[in-house]
Amino acid sequence: MMRALTYHGKKDVRVDTVPDPEIINPRDCIIKVTSTAICGSDLHLYDGVIPGVKTGDILGHEFMGEVVEIGAKSTLKKGQRVVVPFPISCGSCFFCSRQEFSCCDNSNPVEKQDASELLYGHAMSGIFGYSHLTGGYSGGQAEYVRIPFSDVGPIVVPDHLEDDKVLFLSDILPTGWMAAENAQIEPEDTVAVWGCGPVGLFAVQSAIVMGAARVIAIDEHPRRLELARQLGAEVINFKQTHVLEALMEMTGGIGVDCAIDAVGMEAHGMAPDNLLDMAKQKVGIGADRAHVLREVITAVRKAGRVSVPGVYGGLADKFPTGAFMEKGIQMRTGQTHVQRYMKDLLAKIEDGSLDTTFLISHHLPLEDAPKGYDNFLNNQNEWTKVVLKTDAAKAA
């Protein structure tokens, strides 16, 4: 038996004792988790706005640990220290061979694909701990995790880099990086990033590394804006400032070249469209709060580029089709193809060109995970990132 953070209902998660995982398929491995983080997208589950989460599901998709068991076709060895990417990918289908790992055809179990096919037209890859639409896999906020296709996903990390330096290779660092890449940044570009959560901040950092001339970060929490500023961004507090007007003025009336929506489906703020979306979301009809998505399309310059790493899961109306078409905007989206970026980003962590530890505000034992969820949601100014440690981490 093991301890694991499980879903019991809206804003109700608990650490329960549940059965250990086992090797099932030949390419599986089992890892003993040392560190695991709470992701901003876990808060969408916590808030009950992602469909297909069941009582007893183990959450968590940012985790790392030690390989303790291997299937016959795993290429890992017991004792190796690995970071696990959040999308589960087979490595050999059409999409994986194009490095579009989060589109993997073969990792979302067949019987789980029906609902996404109905909703999205196609089923996406499996994801650890993220609803039954993406497979219903047990997640990483646990002492042990079964890792399918362990010969494709996990990356072995060197012992001299402690967990906090490499843990975010599992999701938010590559997600911030791909967000910046999707904005197709050119030299002299001005990039605006909505949301200074972990992904937004890593997108700020990545945009600067990729050569953006200016990065403007938008949030309401002073502490998060301060972190963005320390990375080299200018900031706008949307509680105090008219964002659209400010962006136009700061860019000499042109608008930003690239706009990144690192907020997603639960936008805050009191704009009229958002209040209406909030009402619809409360009713539970799969409505996304798309305020930021509308704003990035309005804010970006003519023929500009929009990148959407923020999570949306359902439907939205009042999508500004006119602005989107008439202005000749390009938009790129998607769950991150984590496996594509891990090796390069690990090298950047090793040579010091990327730092991830500045983000972590709190370390908690796994047992205190519910407290972490509560504060990450309700005290966003101070709680910028929560890393959970298991007993295995203490022993190591």
**Smallest separation, CB 135 to another protein (Å):** 5
Question: Smallest gap, in angstroms, from Cβ of residue 112 to another protein?
Answer: 7
Residue 281 · residue 310 · CB < 8 Å:
no
- Closest CB to another protein among residues 105, 234: 105
In the bound state with another protein, the residue whose beta carbon lies nearer, of 149 and 324, is: 149
Shortest distance in whole angstroms from residue 104 CB to another protein: 9
Rounded alpha-carbon distances, angstroms, from residue 360 to 152, 383, 392: 28, 8, 20
Query: Judged by CB under 8 A, how many residues of this single chain contact another protein?
Result: 34
Binding mask 116-145 for another protein (x = CB under 8 A): ----------x--------xxxx-------
Q: Where are the beta strands (DSSP E) in the chain?
A: 2-9, 12-18, 29-38, 62-70, 81-84, 87-88, 126-127, 144-147, 155-156, 190-194, 214-219, 234-237, 256-261, 300-308, 330-333, 362-365, 386-389
Options 109-117, 200-208, 279-287, 386-394: segment touching another protein (CB under 8 A): 109-117
Residue 94, classified by CB atoms within 10 Å of its CB into exposed (0-12), middle (13-18) or buried (19+), is exposed
The residue (of 93 and 250) whose beta carbon lies closer to another protein is: 93
**81 Cβ contact partners less than 8 Å away, ≥ 6 residues apart:** 34, 64, 65, 66, 67, 156, 157, 159
**Span 187-246, contacts to another protein by CB under 8 A:** none
Amino acid found at 283: V
Least distance from another protein to the Cβ atom of residue 265, Å:
24
99 belongs to the binding site for another protein (CB under 8 A): no
Minimum CB separation from another protein for residue 149, in Å?
7
- Tell me which of 12, 14, 22, 242 binds another protein, using CB under 8 A: 22
71's CB contacts (< 8 A; 6+ apart) are 23, 25, 26, 27, 28, 29, 150
- The stretch near another protein (CB under 8 A) out of 25-33, 36-44, 61-69, 251-259 is 25-33
Q: Considering only residues 148-167, where is the footprint of another protein by CB under 8 A?
A: 148-149
For tokens 């047990």, name the residue: 138
Interaction between residue 19 and another protein (CB under 8 A): yes
The closest alpha carbon to 152, from 370, 343, 388, belongs to 343
12, 54, 75, 92: which one binds another protein (CB under 8 A): 92
Residues 6+ apart with CB under 8 A from 367: 3, 15
Q: Binding to another protein by residue 75, rule CB under 8 A?
A: no
Q: How far apart are CA 60 and CA 130, in angstroms?
A: 7
| Binding to another protein in span 26-45, by CB under 8 A | 26-27
Residues in the site for another protein, rule: CB under 8 A? 19-22, 24-27, 58, 73, 90-94, 97, 105-114, 126, 135-138, 146, 148-149
